[in-house]
Amino acid sequence: MSPLKGQKLTVSVHASAGDAGAAAAEHVAGLVRPNPTAVLGLATGSSPLPLYQALQQADLNLKAVTAFALDEYVGLPAGHAQSYASVIRSQVVEPLGLTPARVHVPDGNPAEVNAVGEAYEAQILAAGGIDLQILGIGSNGHIGFNEPRSPFSSRTRVVALADRTRQDNARFFEAPEAVPTHAVTQGLATIFQARHLLLIAHGPGKAQAIKRALTGPVTEDVPASILQLHPSVTVYLSKAAAALL
């Protein structure tokens, strides 16, 4: 591990995505083993998959863990395979044995759009806050669905997705137009309140975003650059994602 900016942001570079995932899984296990009721923040997308896969190999009981997803698409029918509620269930809750009632995902079909964020923030608060937030990064530097120019002070809310994000995520849908136009996401201030942030990225397509987030100016143009201000961050990268550092 080599500290990049002072002692608070640590970057750990690995030969492959699988190795980065295994190291990140060890990190999560190191929190949960002594603290089985820890509160985790969960990311979706391809970036954390090697972490979740490696966690399956760890001898770990996650039944008492509470978890909060970062985000959810707006408007997908309940049970849609690409809703983050479905993805979290099939990729995290079921394989890792979390207790479904302890796993929260923002409501993507809220009766009252303006109330959805406040309700989710209240749930996080009632759980005592998030101990460790797992994050991926979008190719445009987004975290959760906080697109460039999201305020660092933002809280959980409904947002419009950037065209680039919809293009990036089109691979998960039957047609590019089927990608939702809006999502509910934890805000940047919400994410920043987690006691520890764990960012994971792999592949050359993330190298530029990683460089801008970790070594560029701290700016709302690059939402992930807020990590440089956080007191406790670990970044797990494949060599390809770290290539421009």
Binding site for ligand GLP (CB under 6 A): 43-47, 70-71, 136-138, 144-145, 165, 169
The H-or-E segment that residue 69 falls in is strand 66-69
Q: How far is the CB of 206 from ligand GLP (least distance, A)?
A: 7
Q: How far is the CB of 138 from ligand GLP (least distance, A)?
A: 4
- Phi–psi pair at 238, nearest 5 degrees: -80, 160
* Amino acid (1-letter code) at residue 229: L
Which residue, 106 or 144, is less far from ligand GLP as judged by CB? 144
Which residue, 64 or 226, is less far from ligand GLP as judged by CB? 226
Q: How far is the CB of 145 from ligand GLP (least distance, A)?
A: 5
56-59 CB contacts, 8 Å cutoff, 24+ apart = 56/95, 56/96, 57/25, 58/25, 58/26, 58/29
Q: Which residue is nearest to ligand GLP (CB)?
A: 136
Which residue, 150 or 169, is less far from ligand GLP as judged by CB? 169
Which residue, 71 or 131, is less far from ligand GLP as judged by CB? 71
Q: How far is the CB of 151 from ligand GLP (least distance, A)?
A: 18
- For residue 154, the SS3 value is coil
Q: How far is the CB of 73 from ligand GLP (least distance, A)?
A: 9
Which residue, 112 or 171, is less far from ligand GLP as judged by CB? 171
Q: What is the C-alpha separation between 70 and 144, in angstroms, rounded? A: 6
Using an 8 Å Cβ cutoff, are 39 and 67 in contact? yes
Residue found by looking up tokens 């680039």 in the block? 164
